[in-house]
Amino acid sequence: MPKMKTKSGAKKRFKVRSSGGIKRSQAFKRHILTKKTTKSKRQLRGMTEVHVADEKLIRAMLPYA
């Protein structure tokens, strides 16, 4: 049986924590930042947890993570 391939897009976007959760970066922070308030941009910093409903799909994309 051949090895399963990891989806390269998912590999770049998600990291699996040691506790088992999956972390992701925030969306809406790439461009058109002039119309967004400083507060909203500040709150989009850092990483956040992936929603429980999406975890199964992401784990399928990252078979060895």
Domain harbouring 51, CATH code: 4.10.410.60
Domain that holds residue 25: 8-61
CB contact at 8 A, 10 and 61: yes
Element (H, E) at 55: helix 52-61
Q: State the residue for tokens 């119309």.
A: 35
Whole-number pLDDT of residue 10: 97
Total of domains in the chain: 1
Please report whether residue 3 resides in a domain: no
- What Å distances lie between residue 11 and 16, 34, 56, 63, CA to CA? 10, 30, 15, 10
Identify each DSSP E strand in the chain by its residue range: 14-16, 22-25, 47-49
- Answer whether residue 65 shows pLDDT above 90: no
pLDDT in tens, 6-59: 999 999 999 999 999 999 999 999 999 999 999 999 999 999 999 999 999 999
| Residue type at 21 in one-letter notation | G
Please report whether residue 43 resides in a domain: yes
